[in-house]
Amino acid sequence: MVDEQALAGLKVLDVTHYIAGPFCTKLLADYGADVIKVEKPGKGDGVRRMGPFPGDIPDPEKSGLFLYLNTNKRGITLNLKTKTGVELFKNLVKESDILVENFSPRVMPSLGLDYQTLKKVNPRLVMTSISSFGQTGPYRDCRAAEITLFALSGRMYKTGDPDREPLKYALNVYQYYGGEVASLATLAAVMGRETTGDGEYIDLSILETILGDVENQITWWDFSKEKGVRLNAKNLPLYPWGAFPTKDGFVSIQGVGRGEAWIPRLFTMIGKPELMEDPRFSTPQSRMDNIDEFNALLYSWLADHTKQEIFDEADRVRYPVAPVYSTEELVKNPHYQERDYFVEIDHPRAGKLTYPGAPFKMSRAGWAIRRPAPRLGEHNREVYCELLGYSKDDLVTLRSLDVI
Amino acid sequence: MHKKLPLSNVRVVEVADAWVGPVAGLLLADLGAEVIKVESPTRMDLCRGAGTPAWGTSEYPDGIPGERPWNRNSQFITANWGKYGVAIDLRIPKGLQVFKRLIKISDVFLSNFVTGVAEKLGISYEALAEVNSQIIYLSACTFGAIGPYAKRVGMGNTADAAAGLLGLRDYGDGDSTCVSYSTHTDEIGAATNAFAILAALYYRQKTGKGMYIDVSTVEASISHIGEAVMDYTMNHRIQRSLGNRAVSICPQGCYPCQGEDEWVTISISSDEEWQRFAKVMSSPTWARDERFVDVLGRLKNQDELDKLIGEWTTRHTKYDVMGLLQQEGIAAGAVLTNADVYSDLHIKERGFLETMDQPDAGRHTYPGRVWRLKEVGAPKRKPAPRFGEHNNYVLSQIIGLTSEEILELEREGIISSTPLLPSLHIE
């Protein structure tokens, strides 16, 4: 890498845990920021106890989620429930451009580490608080898992089979999404500070990022009293839309978009271009009237071909269709391999493993792995001694007092 | 008096369609950037929609497309407020020249063409860097700019499949067909685009150098299911969907409530929470059953557990269940409809929804900004541009064309404020 990374020089104090906060700071770290991750002495980030683990054997230094979310960060331990710990923390704030936290909203104020206090310590500080419901409001202190927020956003009601209960999205995708939105808002605030010299406080509610998700279309209620429905191929038959079974799995067909303009491509893809002239199928209404025959043609062709064959045929006619990939198919895929999307990272305890890599590629100064995820307290000496000027003896004392 | 928003000195030129590009432009506009959306007289952003699409007209006010439906579509408006809108035909040399004059005085170019199209139009990174060597040029598409699938077309639903997200979303029976489509990868791509541009702007501020950014929305999205990838690379285990369940949280699910199609989600993450949950249900005998006392037992007997919980929830409204459980510190969330969201007390008190006027669509209430910048505040947003609405303003005030030059472009159909094709994209 000839250029320094894009965010080199940006100093981030990271007291986040689990997924949303750490993903926010991971993005900053992976593109060059110097991120110091603060963990509880002894226990560390709670996500260290979450799998996957190699061989399903729990080990706080080998959690796949922790290893992935905390690349490029230096790790220290600090007990914020002690007065000395809070003073040390403020010293670190003084040296930082950015502070990110994702505790429940009561926590930072109860520790005496609210923004108004920290602003006095460092007037240029950009502080980002990520939470489920935001720092204010009737739900502020409510408990939430990923599924809880998805439900309250209005999006879940519209997801799944119309004849069954609503369904959540994959894994923890909105924890990641909330973290990513926090990350971009934080960077913007840093940009703003370059002009004004002022710091900023960012209140990020993960629920609000889902509410504001354009796919959510809550606005249809305001526009036309449409409360939303769960759509799938069953109740929206006119344009093949969604997942369809094939010989060896499923493909996803993008139905909406160019609508009628795509129907000729569909007929060509299934080897029957002449159907464009067929009165049974040549207009939307006639297709609705003959929907069973139309579906029979489509489904039988799909069932006769593999995902890859369909993907290739679709490409020939420029019709958006893609295979439904499993994680194995992602890792082994020639396209992502040629792009070097997956990368191998070595970790002193977990060893060499393959990780997802750069979410985007810059032509210069881009993504790079400088160090793997930190072991608990790995950089205590580097940070407390070299950065803050404490001696090795001081560290011993601090450890004996349970401060670090 | 509002302070200036952070990106007030940044000008973005957006030549993008639908969501992945335009929502990135929206996020940047919400941060104060001057975003100029460039459509074409003969090709509008596809989200401006057709007058009467096959799936119904919910996205139009009162379901009425109206005389100028392209200015009244909520799907377009919610992805494009805060921007200036021009319509210039880049395929005509004079149009391309005007466009390049705009690029010369801009900071960012944001696009979501499939690989190869920008080159054909004469607006590749190389072409634009010639005009403005410091330009930050972002190109986003499903598969990215290089690799065997780079030229393959894709949109949100197909990226959803190609990124592994769709494969992790079914009822736990491996049947992908029963789930709704999702274009969540568009949102992930949009946020990633905005983040990338901000990182590039930060870099350019330090060094004076622009750059080219290649975004594959699939790659940006795989990054959001990292734990599943790690499970494969660590254990060669191919993770499948667990439906509404989770690996070590039990019970977790979506349960029926009083009324039609009414539901609540419940997530119990410890044995202590299980005890409190049992108390809320007035400790029915089955809740004290040995099989359910610890999480391993609950996981093993999950089907029966879900059935029993459902029998309890079905006697209550979704709000009651949520209230009772949250009082005991248990994560319960009512499954809200669009209508419920508009009347939700928390959302109201947060002031999250924003009422805005848009000349052709009228007054409506929309989701607001998805972050709070507390010090700088949140000035009211500009409405989404009507088609070609700011042709005159951008061409004369920003680019510096004379009124004669602008008239000539109009006469030749190189710019327009009405679509120059009689019929719209979709029937």
Please indicate if any CB of chain B lies within 8 Å of the CB of A67.
Answer: yes
Q: Does B277 touch chain A (CB under 8 A)?
A: no
- What residues have CB less than 8 Å from A210, skipping those under 6 apart? A149, A150, A153, A155, A174, A177, A178, A216
User: What is the reported pLDDT for A259?
Assistant: 66
Asked if the structure places residue B241 within a domain, the reply is no
Q: How far does the CA of residue A118 sit from the closest CA of chain B (Å)?
A: 14
CA angle centred on A204, ends B376 and B27, rounded to 5°: 65
SS (H, E, C) chain A: CCCCCCCCCCEEEECCCCCHHHHHHHHHHHCCCEEEEEECCCCCCHHHHCCCCHHHCCCCCCCHHHHHHCCCEEEEECCCCCHHHHHHHHHHHHCCCEEEECCCCCHHHHCCCCHHHHHHHCCCCEEEEEECCCCCCCCCCCCCCHHHHHHHCCCHHHCCCCCCCCCCCCCCHHHHHHHHHHHHHHHHHHHHHHHHCCCEEEEEEHHHHHHCCHHHCCHHHHHHCCCCCCCCCCCCCCCCCEEEEECCEEEEECCCCCHHHHHHHHHHHCCCHHHHCCCCCCCHHHHHHCHHHHHHHHHHHHHCCCHHHHHHHHHHHCCCEEECCCHHHHHCCHHHHHCCCEEEEEECCCEEEEEECCCCEECCCCCCCCCCCCCCCCCHHHHHHHHCCCCHHHHHHHHHCCCC
Q: Using CB atoms and an 8 Å cut-off, which of residues 296-335 of chain B contact chain A?
A: 326, 329-335
Average per-residue pLDDT for chain B: 94
Q: Residue B423 above 50 pLDDT?
A: no
Helix (H) or strand (E) holding B273: helix B271-280
Is residue B416 in a domain? no
The answer to whether residues B180 and B261 belong to one domain is: no
- Contact A264/B at CB under 8 A: no
Answer yes or no: do B132 and B280 share one domain: no
Number of CB pairs < 8 Å for A and B? 546
Q: Which of B53, B79, B254 sits opposite A259 (nearest CB)?
A: B53
List the one residue out of B192, B224, B184 whose CA is nearest residue B27. B192
pLDDT at A350 over 60: yes
Q: Is A16 on the interface with B (CB under 8 A)?
A: no
Question: Is B87 within 8 Å of B119 (Cβ atoms)?
Answer: no
Please give, rounded to a whole number of angstroms, the shortest distance from the CA of A383 to a CA of chain B: 25
* Among candidates A160, A200, A327 on the partner chain, residue whose Cβ is nearest the Cβ of B228: A327
| Whether A198 contacts chain B with CB within 8 A | yes
B352 → closest Cβ in A55, A158, A208: A208
Q: How confident is the model at residue A133 (pLDDT cuts 50, 70, 90)?
A: very high
- B337/B395 same-domain check: no
Rounded mean pLDDT, B134-160:
96
Query: Among A222-226, A315-319, B23-27, B368-372, where is mean pLDDT lowest?
Result: A222-226
Indicate yes or no: CB of B57 within 8 angstroms of CB of A358: no
**Is residue B44 in a domain?**
yes
Give the per-residue pLDDT at A238. Answer: 67
- Amino acid of residue B414: I
CATH number at residue B155: 3.40.50.10540
Q: Do B148 and A53 touch (CB under 8 A)?
A: no
Q: Do domains A11-213+337-400 and A242-324 have the same CATH topology?
A: no
Q: Does the predicted interface ipTM exceed a cut of 0.85? A: yes
Q: Is-contact A171 B228, C-beta < 8 A?
A: yes
Which residues on adjacent β-strands are paired with residue B86? B38
CB-based contact (8 Å) between A195 and chain B?
yes
Beta bridge partners of A201: A127
CATH number at residue B299: 3.30.1540.10
* String of DSSP letters for B66-121: -S-GGGS-HHHHHHHTTEEEEEB-TTSHHHHHHHHHHHHT-SEEEE-PPTTHHHHH
pLDDT in tens, A62-103: 999 999 999 999 999 999 999 999 999 999 999 999 999 999
CA distance B323 to chain A (A): 10
Q: Which of B284, B313, B342 is the last residue of a domain?
A: B342
> Taking CB atoms and an 8 Å limit, are B227 and A209 in contact across chains?
no
For residues B147 and B193, state if they share a domain: yes
What single-letter amino acid sits at B344? D
The letter for the amino acid at A10 is: L
pLDDT digits (tens, 9 = 90+) for A176-208: 999 999 999 999 999 999 888 999 999 999 999
For A242-324, CATH gives: 3.30.1540.10
Average pLDDT, chain A: 94
Edge-to-edge strand list for the sheet holding A249-253? A242-246, A249-253, A321-323
Q: Is residue B2 part of a domain?
A: no
CA pair distance B38, B40, nearest whole angstrom:
7
Distance from CA of B349 to the nearest CA of A (A): 6
Same domain? B181 vs B103: yes
Q: What is the pLDDT of residues B25-45, one digit of tens each?
A: 999 999 999 999 999 999 999
Rounded to the nearest angstrom, the minimum Cα separation between A4 and chain B is: 9
pLDDT score of B188 more than 60: yes
Q: Are residues B218 and B273 in the same domain?
A: no
In order of A89, A356, A357, B7, the CA distances from B201 in angstroms are 30, 25, 22, 10
What separation in angstroms does the CA of A241 have from each of A44, A255, B187, B367? 45, 4, 19, 27
Residues B164, B44 share a domain: yes
Q: What are phi and psi of A399, to 5 degrees?
A: -70, -40
pLDDT digits (tens, 9 = 90+) for A292-343: 898 899 999 999 999 999 999 999 999 999 999 999 999 999 999 999 999 9
Residues B321 and B361 in one domain: no
Instruction: Report residue B273 as tokens.
Output: 């929470």
| Interchain CB distance below 8 Å, B231 and A230 | no
Contacts of B115 in chain A (CB under 8 A): none
Same-domain check for residues B69 and B111: yes
| Contact between B364 and A338 using a beta-carbon 8 Å cutoff | no
CATH class of A11-213+337-400: alpha beta
Chain A residues touching residue B45 (CB < 8 angstroms): none
Mean pLDDT, residues A235-261 taken together: 81
Per domain, the residue ranges of chain A are 11-213+337-400, 242-324
CB neighbourhood size of A212 (10 A): 26
Picking from B303, B320, B342, the residue at the C-terminal end of a domain is B342
Is B235 close to A55, i.e. CB distance below 8 A?
A: yes
CB B88 within 8 A of CB B40: yes
Query: Which residue out of A184, A227, A298 would a mutagenesis test of the B interface target, given it has the greatest number of B Cβ atoms within 10 Å?
Result: A184
User: How many structural domains compose chain B?
Assistant: 2
Residue A256 — very low, low, confident or very high, per pLDDT cuts 50/70/90?
Answer: low
Residue B336 Cα, gap to closest chain A Cα (Å): 5
Chain A residues touching B61 at Cβ < 8 A: 223-224
Phi, psi for B272 (deg, rounded to 5):
-65, -40
Band (A2; pLDDT cuts 50, 70, 90):
low
* A299 Cβ under 8 Å from any chain B Cβ: no
Which of A215, A316, A344 to probe the B interface (max B CBs under 10 A)?
A215
Distance from chain centroid for Cα B116: 25
Please give, one letter per residue, the 3-state secondary structure of B351-391.
CCEEEEEECCCEEEEEECCCCEECCCCCCCCCCCCCCCCCH
Q: Is the pLDDT of residue A390 over 80?
A: yes
A353 CB neighbours in chain B (<8 A) are 230, 233-234
On whether any CB of chain B is under 8 Å from the CB of A220, the answer is: yes
Looking at per-residue pLDDT, the higher value among A228 and A164 belongs to A164
Report the C-alpha gap between B343 and B248 in whole angstroms. 34
Judge: A161–B178 Cβ closer than 8 Å, yes or no: yes
B165 and B36 together in one domain: yes
Mutation site, A229, A335, A342, A346, interface B, largest B CB count within 10 A: A335
CA distance readout (Å), B153 to B116, B159, B210, B218: 11, 10, 28, 12
- Contacts (Cβ under 8 Å, ≥6 apart) of A225: B339
The arithmetic mean of pLDDT across residues A227-251, rounded, is: 84
Nearest to A324 among B167, B209, B239 (CB): B167
Q: Does pLDDT of B426 surpass 60?
A: no
Subunit contact B235:A54, Cβ cutoff 8 A: yes
Mutation pick from A7, A130, A147, A347 vs chain B, by most beta carbons of B within 10 Å, is: A147
Q: Chain B residue with minimal CA distance to A316?
A: B152
| Chain B CB within 8 Å of residue A351 CB | no
Taking CB atoms and an 8 Å limit, are A327 and B239 in contact across chains? yes
- Are A261 and B340 inside 8 Å of each other by CB? no
Q: What is the mean pLDDT of residues A354-361?
A: 98
Structure confidence at residue B1 as a pLDDT band (50, 70, 90): very low
Distance of residue B134 Cα from the nearest chain A Cα, in angstroms: 13
Domain that holds residue B313: 252-342
Q: Is A212 on the interface with B (CB under 8 A)?
A: yes
Are B360 and B332 part of one and the same domain? no
Q: Tell me if chain B has a CB within 8 Å of the CB of A303.
A: no
Contact B63 A224 (CB under 8 A): yes
Which residue of B166, B331, B338 is in closest CB contact with A221? B338
Nearest to A213 among B32, B187, B214 (CB): B187
Cβ-Cβ contacts under 8 Å, A358 against chain B: 219
**Range in A203-207, B330-334, B381-385 with the lowest mean pLDDT:** B381-385
Whether B395 and B301 map to the same domain: the answer is: no
Q: Name the percent of chain A lying above pLDDT 90.
A: 86
At B424, the pLDDT band (50, 70, 90 cuts) reads: very low
Q: Is residue B287 part of a domain?
A: yes
Are the Cβ atoms of B161 and A319 closer than 8 angstroms?
no
CB atoms < 10 A from the CB of A348, how many? 9
Half-sphere exposure of A287 (CA within 13 A, CB side): 23
The residue of chain A nearest to residue B141, with distances taken between CA atoms, is: A360
Average pLDDT rounded to a whole number, residues B88-101: 97
pLDDT at B342: 97
Where a domain ends, among B342, B362, B390?
Answer: B342
pLDDT of A254: 86
- Selected residue with higher pLDDT from A370 and B60: A370
- Nearest chain B CA: its distance from A82 CA (Å): 26
B242 occurs within a structural domain = no
Task: Indicate yes or no: CB of B263 within 8 angstroms of CB of A200.
Answer: no
By the CB < 8 Å criterion, does B46 face chain A? yes
